[in-house]
Chains A and B, each alone.
Chain A
Amino acid sequence: MDVTFKIKRFNPETDDAEHWESYPLEVDPKDRVLDSLLKIKRTLDGTLTFRYSCAHGVCGSDGMMINGINQLACQVLNQDLKSDTIKIEPMKGYTVLKDLVVDFDPFFESLEKVKPYLINDELPPSRERLQSIEERARFDDTTKCILCGICTTSCPSFWANGQYLGPAAIVNAHRFIFDSRDRGAQERLEILNDRDGVWRCHTIFNCTDACPREINVTQAIAEVKNAITFHKV
């Protein structure tokens, strides 16, 4: 099928401002959008710049806005878009470094603030810590996060205020708050009980709709809000 890719470009070394460029391309409908971008880069315009690695939706490198929706370019097939024009822009909310590449350092800085690691000072047993199947299921959904940033950069509250920790950080806090082996829930809840924590979430659901791992992000945030409100995990 013939498709026109309209891609928002910006090269800080040569451009004053972002601009659109069009690339007509014959593509296999079953190919991934990422395959098409690589074809453009390697046959039409070597300066086109984007991140990618695993090419099957597990590493989280190639989040971008495709026809207005944040998606992983390796998880969308050309035919899924049902359009002969495919518009691609960088994810919103972070500084564009070049073309589709945004500065991800602030994303990881927000993540780090919520202490996303198992906190437990007790001496571990000689074998594994026991955890029932039900206890493990309690936080299963949020263990799936690949830190691609798609939820956070889909969130209007984050667009409005970059200080907001964002859904991805809250998802990763949730993963530990509800882990029966963890003892750090209270410190995390105090961090999240803040103007720039969970209370900036206005349950718009963009994050949940966009998550390429199908995590129910809004529900995870609601569970954290409840834990703060009712002092109960």
Chain B
Amino acid sequence: MVHKFDVVIVGAGGAGLRAALEASESANVAVISKLYPVRSHTGAAQGGIGAALGNHEQDRWEWHMYDTVKGSDYLGDQDAIEILCKEAVDAILEMEHFGLPFSRTEDGKIAQRQFGGHTSNYGGKAVRRACYSADRTGHMILHTLYEKCMERHVRFYNEFHVADVIIEDNVCRGVAALEIKTGEIHIFQAKAVLFATGGYGRAFKITSNAHAYTGDGMAIVFRRGIPLEDMEFVQFHPTGLWRLGILITEGARGEGGILRNKDGERFMERYAPSIKDLAPRDLVSRAIYDELQAGRGIDGKDYVHLDLTHLDPGQLEEKLPDVLFFARTYLAVDPLAEPIPVQPTCHYAMGGIPTNVDGQVVADFRNTPVDGLYAAGEVACVSVHGANRLGTNSLLDLVVFGRRAGNHMARFANSTDFARLPETPVQSLRERIRQIKESTGNENPLDIRTELRNNMMDLVSVYRSGETLTKMKDILTDLKDRYQNISIMDKGNIFNTDVLDAIELGYLLDFSSAIVDSALAREESRGAHFRDDFQNRDDENWLKHTLAYLRDDGTVELDYKPVSITQFEPKERKY
């Protein structure tokens, strides 16, 4: 079946829904999601969304910009970061006007809390910049945007699994999707297509990310010749619940929580003397790994403690109710009475599909746009996060660049005609699904998935080296070979999640190659990418973005492009 829309949005999280609202003001829009929209992972974000509202104390967007640039270890593009921080204030107020139920200050304004790396006056004391709704900020953003889309009667295709993008002659013409309920393949022809499919944490053993976070959008465009930018930068959030990886918001430290090792020592005082527990995530995650390495994990195990016991119980119940609930439910730990066992958890992809500040996908080092192809949110790399994202900037990224992409798509769609579809637009997808169903190989997809996730965690996480990355590269080659010999049990058409799992496993393997090859080439340490064998930042050789291309023979080819530096010259990053 062929559907025709001016604008097709793939993914119904914060970026997709914000774009849908914007684009639907003047264009005919469809949103396609492999889930129901409110299941999207934006809903799991907890602590806050950053904007220099200054509701508690003086703040300025320029300070927010400085913090973001410094947090990115100077790899973020400063022209884009300026837009992010400047438009933040308006974007947040607009969310409030849409109905978002923010927590409030005594005088009825949007409440704000401290977060990692947010300072006043260019690196001074911690500032309250994270606008929040208890520890459910992402949930409120997701629901508010979905509600507005309902009011606007935006057309949704729920539980449609987009599995291919149709690009010819540098023009995007639509996407192909599997209707999960029937197994039927649909073509969505469009003038503009937005990928807003989120990240890829499920490539790692310990992750805060949903099962649905399998890097679909990245892998789909990667296979069609679009590069992936800065994939070596993978954020590990310092405080995931031990063994499970479930997020414990940085807002817990923003409210006064303290990290302690087995001696009860507040070890962050040694690593970031000035802002301590509120240092950016890359630093804190490395500090935790160092403590574990030095034998100062709790009970000799691979976790440390997040201590909230000194904080007012009433305030905790009010400001961090979900965090308390998670610790109680999953670890039988009551954070009011005892510290929470935490370990770094794979949390966020700084890299992704390269875009300009209007969400247009740019496919080479000259930033040449692909007509009609857009990306926004975690799947995209604008780049506003550079080598390390600051907490609260991901939710902000969704609404600021979702809005900009939606706006640009509508204008583009209104100024152009539908491009012709190729004669057999879904043949390769049909073939891929047939192969997966008919293959009788002796490999179990679970084994491949498990080996991938365990090894990515061991070899490509907080610390890497030429040795670990080379090893992972070899493992990936082997896993990809074995992937050709999988077999699955469900051969049916209706709600065949066995097939979907196998398709997603193929994505995990492909974009993992981009992560590993990009990381192996980058012989320096910057932000979340730390090489044991190259421990310093090397601006002379590496102040540049990586572009990874998938070649027809399955190998990855790398190219580079310059970083936009407008206001803040790179300097040593200290906290």
Please give the residue numbers on chain A whose beta carbons come within 8 Å of chain B beta carbons, in ascending order.
Answer: 11-14, 32, 41-43, 45-47, 49-50, 52-61, 75, 77, 97-99, 101, 104-105, 108, 111-112, 115-118, 120, 124, 126-133, 135-136, 139-140, 143-144, 146-147, 175-176, 179, 181-182
Contact between A131 and B446, CB atoms less than 8 A apart: no
Write the nearest CB–CB distance from B160 to chain A, whole angstroms.
13
**In chain B, what residue has the closest Cβ to A44?**
B489
**In chain A, what residue has the closest Cβ to B321?**
A144
The docked-state distance in angstroms from the alpha carbon of A57 to that of B110 is 26
Stretch of B93-101, B113-121, B553-561 lying at the A interface: B93-101
Q: A105 — which chain B residues lie within 8 A by C-beta?
A: 158
The docked-state distance in angstroms from the alpha carbon of A201 to that of B326 is 31
Can you name 21 A-B residue pairings with CB atoms under 8 Å? A13-B492, A14-B492, A41-B497, A42-B444, A42-B501, A52-B211, A54-B44, A55-B211, A56-B44, A57-B325, A59-B43, A61-B36, A129-B97, A130-B107, A131-B108, A133-B105, A135-B104, A143-B136, A143-B143, A144-B136, A146-B139
Write the nearest CB–CB distance from A110 to chain B, whole angstroms.
12
Quick one: which of B21-57 are within 8 Å of A by CB?
35-36, 38-41, 43-44
Q: Is B103 an interface residue (CB 8 A)?
A: yes
Q: Is B431 an interface residue (CB 8 A)?
A: no
Write the nearest CB–CB distance from A131 to chain B, whole angstroms.
5
Contact between A116 and B96, CB atoms less than 8 A apart: no
Given A46-B488, A60-B38, A179:B99 Cβ within 8 A: yes
Q: Is B109 an interface residue (CB 8 A)?
A: yes
Given A133-B104, A136-B104, A61:B39 Cβ within 8 A: yes
Given A42-B445, A59-B44, A117-B151, A97:B99 Cβ within 8 A: no
Contact between B498 and A179, CB atoms less than 8 A apart: no
The docked-state distance in angstroms from the alpha carbon of A163 to that of B250 is 44
Extra contacts, 7 of them, besides A53-B212, A56-B326, A108-B36 (Cβ < 8 A), are A47-B490, A54-B41, A54-B210, A56-B244, A58-B139, A116-B150, A126-B93
Q: A147 — which chain B residues lie within 8 A by C-beta?
A: 36, 38
Q: Is B62 an interface residue (CB 8 A)?
A: no
The docked-state distance in angstroms from the alpha carbon of A136 to that of B246 is 28
Interface 1/0 per residue, B411-444 and A, CB below 8 Å: 0000000000000000000000000000000001
Q: B144 — which chain A residues lie within 8 A by C-beta?
A: 118
Contact between B445 and A146, CB atoms less than 8 A apart: no
- The winner among A12, A59, A104, A136 for most chain B CB atoms within 10 A is A59
Given A52-B211, A117-B148, A129-B96, A136:B139 Cβ within 8 A: no
Write the nearest CB–CB distance from B273 to chain A, whole angstroms.
34
Q: B39 — which chain A residues lie within 8 A by C-beta?
A: 53-54, 59-61
Write the nearest CB–CB distance from A60 to chain B, whole angstroms.
6
The docked-state distance in angstroms from the alpha carbon of A108 to that of B110 is 30
Write the nearest CB–CB distance from A69 to chain B, whole angstroms.
16
Write the nearest CB–CB distance from A64 to chain B, whole angstroms.
14
Interface 1/0 per residue, B318-347 and A, CB below 8 Å: 000010011001100000000000000000
Q: A136 — which chain B residues lie within 8 A by C-beta?
A: 101-104
Write the nearest CB–CB distance from A48 to chain B, whole angstroms.
9
The docked-state distance in angstroms from the alpha carbon of A98 to that of B137 is 34
Contact between B97 and A124, CB atoms less than 8 A apart: yes
**In chain A, what residue has the closest Cβ to B101?**
A143
Q: B98 — which chain A residues lie within 8 A by C-beta?
A: 118
Of the candidates A58, A75, A128, the one whose C-beta lies within 8 Å of that of B110 is: A128
Q: Is B122 an interface residue (CB 8 A)?
A: no
Contact between B495 and A181, CB atoms less than 8 A apart: no
The docked-state distance in angstroms from the alpha carbon of A135 to that of B103 is 10
**In chain A, what residue has the closest Cβ to B108?**
A130
Of the candidates A49, A58, A127, the one whose C-beta lies within 8 Å of that of B43 is: A58
Contact between B109 and A49, CB atoms less than 8 A apart: no
Q: A14 — which chain B residues lie within 8 A by C-beta?
A: 492
Q: B97 — which chain A residues lie within 8 A by C-beta?
A: 124, 128-129
Given A59-B39, A59-B43, A133-B106, A118:B147 Cβ within 8 A: yes
Contact between B151 and A46, CB atoms less than 8 A apart: no
The docked-state distance in angstroms from the alpha carbon of A97 to that of B496 is 11
- The winner among B158, B211, B244 for most chain A CB atoms within 10 A is B211
Contact between B43 and A117, CB atoms less than 8 A apart: no
Q: B212 — which chain A residues lie within 8 A by C-beta?
A: 53
Of the candidates B40, B99, B494, the one whose C-beta lies within 8 Å of that of A12 is: B494
Contact between A128 and B93, CB atoms less than 8 A apart: yes
Given A54-B43, A118-B98, A136-B101, A77:B330 Cβ within 8 A: yes
Q: Is B293 an interface residue (CB 8 A)?
A: no
**In chain A, what residue has the closest Cβ to B495?**
A98
Contact between A47 and B492, CB atoms less than 8 A apart: yes
Write the nearest CB–CB distance from B471 to chain A, whole angstroms.
26
Q: Is B231 an interface residue (CB 8 A)?
A: no
Contact between A112 and B330, CB atoms less than 8 A apart: no
Q: Is B493 an interface residue (CB 8 A)?
A: yes
Q: A108 — which chain B residues lie within 8 A by C-beta?
A: 36
Interface 1/0 per residue, B71-97 and A, CB below 8 Å: 000000000000000000000010011
Q: Is B551 an interface residue (CB 8 A)?
A: no
Given A42-B446, A53-B210, A13:B493 Cβ within 8 A: yes
Write the nearest CB–CB distance from A143 to chain B, whole angstroms.
5
Q: B501 — which chain A residues lie within 8 A by C-beta?
A: 42
The docked-state distance in angstroms from the alpha carbon of A135 to that of B109 is 12
The docked-state distance in angstroms from the alpha carbon of A32 to that of B329 is 10
Quick one: which of B488-515 are within 8 Å of A by CB?
488-490, 492-498, 501
Q: Is B140 an interface residue (CB 8 A)?
A: yes
Contact between B104 and A56, CB atoms less than 8 A apart: no
Q: A120 — which chain B residues lie within 8 A by C-beta?
A: 99
Q: A143 — which chain B residues lie within 8 A by C-beta?
A: 101, 133, 136, 140, 143
Q: Is B125 an interface residue (CB 8 A)?
A: no
Given A117-B151, A143-B101, A143-B140, A53:B35 Cβ within 8 A: yes
The docked-state distance in angstroms from the alpha carbon of A49 to that of B35 is 14
Q: B492 — which chain A residues lie within 8 A by C-beta?
A: 11, 13-14, 47
